[in-house]
Chains A and B, each alone.
Chain A
Amino acid sequence: MSIIKGRVWKYGDDVNTDVIFPGKYTYTISDPKQMAAYALEDLDPKFVKNVKPYDIIVAGKNWGCGSSREQAVTCLKEIGLGAIIAKSFGRIYYRNCLNAALPALTCAEAVDAIEGHEVIEVDLVSGIIRCAAGAFQFPPLPAQVMSIFEAGGLIPYTRKQLENRRSFNEKRLK
């Protein structure tokens, strides 16, 4: 799991969440499987038809700007996307990725070097992206955030914290 190998889908700057997951579906579709069918609908209709698990999105600056909708991450997580590498991310989008345990990596040099459709490798543990043009280092995640990532995302992390609190309270009552 620490090494992700996949084909690149390359996109430009300022791709917003409305084109990653259209707003008109946000209150009517709640099943992640259905969400996956509309991923990038307004950006690249070929994406959903051809994407494979572990594929990697490589984008310019400010990927995922705009609305806070988590479905714009959920739909890609459901597809089994391996990672997103961008020059920068929309703030909430970045948080949503980490909370869903979908690797969101910031590495401008790698984005410039990687070609569309090539197969690349990301090593999350050593923090290295390997592509045809060479190897690139990305900054590691902050330790506090890493614990959420290691738990498999914010949902399992919160579940574990709640269980810990409950068993602590039960012990105290005994």
Chain B
Amino acid sequence: MGQTFAEKILASKVGLKETVPGQIVEVVPDVALSHDNTAAIYGIFKRMGGVRVFNTEMHAIILDHATPAANTEHAENHRIIREFVKEQGIKYFFDAGRGICHQVLVEEGLALPGEVVLGSDSHTTHAGVMGTFGAGIGRSEMASIWALGKLWLRVPESLKIVVNDTLPSGVTSKDLALRVIGDLGADGGLYMSVEWHGEAIKALELSQRAVLTNIAAEMGVKNSYILPDQKTFAYLEGRAKRSYEPIYPDPDADYVRVVEYNASMLEPMVACPHTVDNVKPLSEVKGKHVDQAFLGTCTNARLDDLAAAAEVMKGRHVASRTRMVVIPASSEIYMEALRAGYIETFVNAGAMVESPGCGPCLGNHMGVPAVGDVVISTANRNFQGRMGTRESEIYLASPVVVAASAITGVIAYPKDLEETKP
């Protein structure tokens, strides 16, 4: 019997020929990812009796959750992290302004095919876009990795999602992701390794594939994996920090469940308040007034997301009773968007463009909603209170839907704009 990606990579990491679901293995990760929570982890590390970290090259520390610092507490937190980085001689540190950790990890060639990334952030599943095993862990677990260099993992069962055919025009990987989460539920992939197969996935660019591996965390998965191909290898040329060896599942691997979709049948979807699996077709919620549109986060703020939104918004203006916030996922994307003129389009349209980071996604700063506000966002979470106040409603959708909603002031599809010429 063949092996799934998860069974194979965890076996390779501990020098075994094979592993089976339920088996506990002690893994030495290739990357230990942390962000603004690094200072808190350092506190736990010291309580554990830690003095020097086990391996200074294993860390990737990227400040993103409140950058630039929203207040003195956040600024102090960042200061402690900078001191820690200097004192320990951490090799891969990216200070405030570089971007959101999951995106930066990919851009910096630190998420590599066939490698294991453990991160103290639930969306570490994102790294699977590169054929990496990326899984989220807790802060104490991260501190234990800093001290001992390893952590226990349970070999997960695997879920295979096969997406055949091609997505229709105007339907994005975000719509596919929301459809899948809506169908399978918030616990539809609980504890599992999800693999995305099929020609529709192969046809997607890396940035659109990343939406799938990122938001898969919202159905409870341990990791989310896309088979690396020529697009992956070409992207990594000149970026990869180490040589790498891709790992692929065997064709006869054993999955607990196989789910198939025909991409050509999909339509734009929206996740409604207050859970990510409360998914409805856009046609059922269109027309709902929005107070704020947010184009940002690790889920959907890469260059082609900004390009698609800018195309919708070019020559138009954000509705008078609506605000729009745009936050590129990284400084690299920000620069490319500047050169391409997208930033100019957003500013001309009346949007607020902020510096790369998580921003209001988790209620920290740079565009949090007021009591009673309705927000449409490209993020991955819409839990009650997520953006600061529990008295607001958050709808999740693709960048083109968020852009069209900003212009019309109501949840809308870009083709609804065709009547209102720029």
Q: Hey, what's the 0/1 contact readout for B33-53 against A, CB within 8 Å counting as 1?
A: 000110010011001111000
Complex Cα–Cα for A90 and B185 (A): 13
Residue A91, interface by CB 8 Å: yes
* Chain B residue contacts of A70, Cβ below 8 A: 138-140
* Chain B residue contacts of A99, Cβ below 8 A: 138, 140-141, 144
Interface-centre pick from A16, A30, A91, A157 (highest chain B CB count, 10 A): A91
**Which residue of the partner chain A has the closest CB to B361?**
A23
Residue B191, interface by CB 8 Å: yes
* Chain B residue contacts of A42, Cβ below 8 A: 384-385, 390
Pair B154/A142 contact, Cβ less than 8 Å:
yes
Which of A1-9, A58-66, A110-118, A128-136 lines the interface with chain B? Answer: A58-66
Complex Cα–Cα for A145 and B384 (A): 33
Given contacts A19-B385, A42-B384, contact A65 B48 (CB under 8 A): no
Interface-centre pick from A73, A90, A157, A158 (highest chain B CB count, 10 A): A158
Residue B163, interface by CB 8 Å: no
Complex Cα–Cα for A92 and B153 (A): 11
Q: Which of A137-165 contact B (CB under 8 A)?
A: 142, 144-145, 148, 153-155, 157-159, 161-163
Interface-centre pick from A14, A18, A26, A161 (highest chain B CB count, 10 A): A18
Complex Cα–Cα for A99 and B144 (A): 10
**A-B residue pair count with CB separations less than 8 angstroms:** 126
Our pick among B43, B140, B362, B385 for the contact of A154 (Cβ within 8 Å) is B140
Our pick among A27, A142, A158 for the contact of B24 (Cβ within 8 Å) is A142
Residue B74, interface by CB 8 Å: yes
**Which residue of the partner chain A has the closest CB to B121?**
A68
Pair A145/B24 contact, Cβ less than 8 Å:
yes
Pair A162/B137 contact, Cβ less than 8 Å:
no
* Chain A residue contacts of B29, Cβ below 8 A: none
Min CB distance A121 to B, Å, is 28
**Which residue of the partner chain A has the closest CB to B386?**
A18
Residue A83, interface by CB 8 Å: no
* Chain A residue contacts of B292, Cβ below 8 A: none
Pair A162/B65 contact, Cβ less than 8 Å:
no
Secondary structure at the B interface, as helix, strand, loop or mixed, is: loop
Residue A10, interface by CB 8 Å: no
Pair A88/B65 contact, Cβ less than 8 Å:
no
Q: Which of A10-62 contact B (CB under 8 A)?
A: 14, 16, 18-19, 22-24, 26-28, 30, 42, 61-62
Residue A67, interface by CB 8 Å: yes
Pair A155/B47 contact, Cβ less than 8 Å:
yes
Min CB distance A68 to B, Å, is 4
Min CB distance A51 to B, Å, is 20
* Chain A residue contacts of B139, Cβ below 8 A: 70
Complex Cα–Cα for A30 and B190 (A): 29
Residue B159, interface by CB 8 Å: no
Pair B138/A62 contact, Cβ less than 8 Å:
no
Residue A79, interface by CB 8 Å: no
Q: Hey, what's the 0/1 contact readout for B129-153 against A, CB within 8 Å counting as 1?
A: 0000000111111011001100010
Given contacts A14-B186, A14-B187, A88-B187, contact A163 B49 (CB under 8 A): yes
Pair B222/A27 contact, Cβ less than 8 Å:
no
Pair A92/B122 contact, Cβ less than 8 Å:
yes
Our pick among B44, B187, B222 for the contact of A155 (Cβ within 8 Å) is B44
Pair B138/A68 contact, Cβ less than 8 Å:
yes
Pair B386/A90 contact, Cβ less than 8 Å:
no
Complex Cα–Cα for A70 and B201 (A): 34
Interface-centre pick from B66, B220, B381 (highest chain A CB count, 10 A): B220
8 contacts across the A-B interface (CB closer than 8 A): A16-B383, A24-B385, A26-B362, A28-B74, A67-B122, A91-B190, A142-B24, A158-B48
Chain B residues at the A interface, C-beta cutoff of 8 Å: 24, 36-37, 40, 43-44, 47-50, 65-66, 73-74, 77, 120-122, 136-141, 143-144, 147-148, 152, 154, 186-187, 190-191, 220-222, 275, 277, 362-364, 381, 383-386, 388, 390
List the 3 closest A-B pairs by CB distance, nearest first.
A62-B187, A18-B383, A68-B122
